[in-house]
Amino acid sequence: MHNILAVDVWALAKTMDEFQPGFWSAFMKNREKAFKRFIAETIKNKSSTSRKRPPFLR
């Protein structure tokens, strides 16, 4: 299943690169930014929720 998805993604990226050169590199840059933001928010949310006391202990 993973190989089929990989081929689908490759075909989509190849096609988009033909219509809009640089598509794949722009996509990967945006993906990296989104991933870093997701990790930062996840860490922020974990640290802020770990400090709060559960409602039954208030």
Give the pLDDT confidence score for residue 42 in this predicted structure. Answer: 86
Give the pLDDT confidence score for residue 21 in this predicted structure. Answer: 92
Sign for the pseudo-dihedral over CA of 48, 49, 50, 56: positive
Q: Structural domain tally of the chain?
A: 1
Distance CA 28, CA 30 (A): 5
Residue 35 is part of which domain span? Answer: 2-57
Q: Give the single-character DSSP code of 58.
A: -
Give the pLDDT confidence score for residue 38 in this predicted structure. Answer: 93
Average pLDDT per run of 10 along the chain, which is 58 residues long? Answer: 87 90 90 93 74 64
Q: Which residues contact 47 (CB under 8 A, 6 or more apart)?
A: none
Model pTM score: 0.55
Q: Give the single-character DSSP code of 22.
A: T
Q: Which two tokens stand for residue 41?
A: 């928010």
